[in-house]
Amino acid sequence: MDVTSQLEWHPLLRDPTGRRTVKPRTRGQTMVIDKGLGLHAFEDLLQTSAPYIDLLKIGFGTTPLYPTGLLKRKIELARQHQIAIMPGGTFLEVAVSRHTVPEYFDMIGLLGFTAIEVSDGTIEMERTVRNELIRLSREAGLTVYTEYGKKLWGSTIDAEELVETVLLDVQHGAALVTIEARESGAGVGIFDANGECRDEELLDIVGKLPEPDLLLWEAPQKQQQVHLLKTLGSGVNLGNISPNDIFSLESLRRGLRSDTFGLELSP
């Protein structure tokens, strides 16, 4: 008898909430930021954590810094594990500001990226340009993730403007809209200078949206992840998660850590 075939945890021990879904997910998606993992580290990451990663972002504008063969291999591995993979939005902003958008799309197509982030965190972008970038991305067969918010320290969120942006982005073909918090999670968006969540703004945003699940919240810090999970439920979409924190976050989602013990899917 094959003993290993019997080594299966009870479902409520694997997931005490009883509600965590498998990929492809529409709720509870996790976006991981890769800030320069080597190939072996990347392979190890996927070997252990692939079931818990929905989207992987090659951070900032680092995409052209990799040896081409290494980058292509990382993209191939992500695709094999059902993980959408995209360059950071800042890199597309570089292409827009340097008038090299066609060249940008040519290269990410040749490399095999499956997704794209359309953002204006650093530059100013007309609505017509944003619409066109979403359209070009869709025509290229890419899943589109847009982003709302500026990277400037002290920048905040205008709930009315955000709602309008989300509805227009989704209308034009975006799958999710990411709320900017940078990789620091402090002094930007819904987080104050200490990384604490501005709950009034958070609830105002969620209350104004017909479908809050259209949002992906950047939340790189553990206390931010815990707070959003407790406030919005384990089905909240979270991003800018460090590769080192994937198991930590998945444990939080399932109520397998003291911080979220007894957590349910919805608050």
- Across all residues in the chain, what is the average pLDDT? 92
Confidence of residue 3 (pLDDT cuts 50, 70, 90): low
Element at 147 (helix H, strand E): strand 143-148
Is pLDDT larger for residue 71 or for residue 201?
Answer: 71
* Predicted local distance difference test score (pLDDT) of residue 159: 85
For the chain, where are the alpha helices, taking DSSP H only?
11-14, 39-49, 68-80, 89-97, 101-111, 127-139, 159-172, 199-208, 222-232, 246-254
* Predicted local distance difference test score (pLDDT) of residue 151: 66
Best CA proximity match to 80, nearest among 46, 36, 107:
46
* Predicted local distance difference test score (pLDDT) of residue 230: 94
Q: Does residue 114 contact residue 145 with C-beta atoms inside 8 Å? A: no
**C-alpha of 172 from chain center:** 19
Eight-class DSSP state of 128: H
The residue type of 123 is I
Domains of the chain: 24-260 (3.20.20.70)
Q: Mark 45-77 as b/e (b = at least 16 C-beta within 10 Å).
A: bbeebbebbbbbbbbbbbbeebeeeebebbbeb
Q: Is the pLDDT of residue 259 over 80?
A: yes
For 150-245, where are the alpha helices, taking DSSP H only?
159-172, 199-208, 222-232
Q: Is the pLDDT of residue 122 over 70?
A: yes
Confidence of residue 5 (pLDDT cuts 50, 70, 90): low
User: Strand 237-241 vs strand 30-34: parallel, antiparallel, or unpaired?
Assistant: parallel
Q: Is the pLDDT of residue 266 over 60?
A: no
User: Which pLDDT tens digit goes with each residue over 177-192?
Assistant: 999 877 676 777 888 8
User: Which pLDDT tens digit goes with each residue over 47-65?
Assistant: 999 999 999 999 999 999 9
